[in-house]
A and B are shown apart, each in its own frame.
Chain A
Amino acid sequence: MAEITVRNLHKEFGVGADKIVALDDVNLDISGHVFVSIVGASGCGKSTLLNILSGIETPSHGQVQITEDGRPAAKGYVFQAARLLPWRTVMDNLLFVQKDRSEQTRARCQRYLDMVQLGDKGRKYPGELSGGMQQRVGIARAFSTEPDVLFMDEPFSHLDAITARSLRAELQNMWQETRKTVIFVTHDVGEAVELSNRILVFAKGGHLADDIDMPLPFPRDVADPEVAVAKANVFRTFEQIGALAVS
């Protein structure tokens, strides 16, 4: 079971007058097979938190620990843009992040490609696929390493509404099937409500403003009245804590 512990996490960029505090004294505990969404206006440090959790960036100070049954957890990542190697085929992109290139691994990659309905596109180059398909490959790549924790950084924000919706449904299914711990960053409250069973709200200045449980049963649909009510509640919380962007 994956355990994420964050203690007194602090992160700033730049020096002197240009200094920006991205995260300010963040404390967090996440454990088990949960789908955690991090929401907030742009510039509130949510992507920074994700980057620190995934190890792309290092904290200014504070501790981050991610373990699976006591050992360091394996991580997977889905980026905002798909970040596929344009010069490798879809299958080779999946193999690129694997520990080995055995037949078993290939079969596993193929299975995850099938899961995102791109089973027949393994020999294509990313440039030959649409944006939605590329993002699907990104998702399949993240799942195919069978990570303990999966990080997603606004993976659907570059896609059109219809594609994003079908991908969200697919993601829900995959999460149900695989039961990973997912940390999902988004600025779309509806998306967070639809997908997650825990929502962390970040406010400007990089502090954790609220931590909301979402006990509704899966699968959820944005059209369900219960989901709509929950979404309205989250928005209300936002207003109360002043976390909404005053843009």
Chain B
Amino acid sequence: MATAVASPPTSAPPRTSEEERVRAARRRDRINAVAWRLAGYAFFLGLWEFASGRLMDERLLPGPVDVLRTFGELWASGKVPGAFADTLTRIGIGFAIAFVVGAAIGILMQNRLLNGFFRDAVTIGVTTPGLIWALITAIIFGNRPWGPLIAIVLTTFALISVNVAEGIKALPKDLIDMAKSFGVGVVRRNRQIVIPHLAPYIFTGVRFGFSIAWKVTVLTEVFSSSSGIGFEMRTASQLFRLPEFLTWILAFYVFALLLEKVVLEVIERRFFAWRDTIKS
């Protein structure tokens, strides 16, 4: 008994220090992680810079510094905003059509007959490489503007359909029944339950769809377009200007990544914050 009584006072002072130790350890862990992440950046960028000109010919593998300098030159030539704008317009229009088509199919798939009808269409849409659509539309439409648009629609609609269908399938029937039992009207039911429930599904579809849409757009531009990022890439590669080529693709890649990672994710987090709070 004596030991039991004696132990709390002796363990009290070390407890706080222990707490501090743990906090310090956590802080150290965080700093460590950041340091290692920076080390990763340094390593890979350094490797890239080192490889260019030493492991591989400088003209074949321009280093990051070269790419930045080329970007400066391209920017100064004034071609960049125009090319970005062309590509973004194309993505915007194509993706908007894909969204409407995809959402419509997703809704129609609730019907059994149409579900069977569209199931294979969706599978084909998900599994067929964008390259194939790009080539087919390019050969049929040449460089008419709707060739790339059709390619974008065909590669992205399925993702939207799948997400919409998933969302509808997972509608919270219990909540809807609850609302019905309280005599809540159709309009309010839709606004308060159905739409908030579907919104995240649709948004996820948009996010994935976008990440695919931009890649396909650039790909189609490579084959059949006289403007846009893909066209600039094709020109640069035909002239064997690797720095320019790399700069175009990297610039748009960084732009798209920022858009989908930062912008879309911030929007998602802001609007759908309730989902995380519910989870925890």
Direct contact of A and B (CB under 8 A): yes
Binding site for B on A (CB under 8 A): 8, 15-16, 19, 24-25
Q: Which of B22-54 contact A (CB under 8 A)?
A: 22
Q: Is B19 an interface residue (CB 8 A)?
A: yes
Whether B19 lies near A15 (C-beta < 8 A) is: yes
Residues of A contacting B4 with CB < 8 Å?
24-25
- CB of A16 within 8 A of CB of B15, answer yes
With a 10 A CB-CB cut-off, give which of A8, A16, A25 has the most chain B CB atoms: A16
User: A16 near B3 (CB under 8 angstroms)?
Assistant: no
Q: Interface on B for A, CB 8 Å cutoff? A: 3-4, 7, 15-16, 18-19, 22
B-chain residues with CB within 8 Å of residue A15 when the two chains form the complex: 15, 18-19, 22
- A99 → B minimal CB distance (Å): 39
Contacts of B7 in A (CB 8 A): 25
Q: List 15 A-B contacts (CB under 8 A).
A: A8-B3, A15-B15, A15-B18, A15-B19, A15-B22, A16-B15, A16-B16, A16-B18, A16-B19, A16-B22, A19-B15, A24-B4, A25-B3, A25-B4, A25-B7
- Give the residues in chain B near A19, CB-CB below 8 Å: 15
Tell me the nearest residue of chain A to B19, going by C-beta: A16
Cα–Cα distance between A19 and B18 once the two chains are bound (Å) = 11
User: In the assembled complex, which residues on chain A have CB atoms less than 8 Å from the CB atom of B3?
Assistant: 8, 25
> In the complex, which residues of chain B have a beta carbon less than 8 angstroms from the beta carbon of A8?
3
In the complex, what distance in Å separates the CA atom of A202 from the CA atom of B3? 19
Complex: how many Å from CA A198 to CA B252? 74
Chain A proximity of B168: nearest CB distance (Å): 35
CA separation between A19 and B15, bound complex, in Å? 9
A-B residue pairs, 8 tightest by C-beta: A16-B19, A15-B22, A15-B18, A15-B19, A25-B3, A25-B4, A16-B15, A16-B18
Which B residues are CB-close (under 8 A) to A24? 4
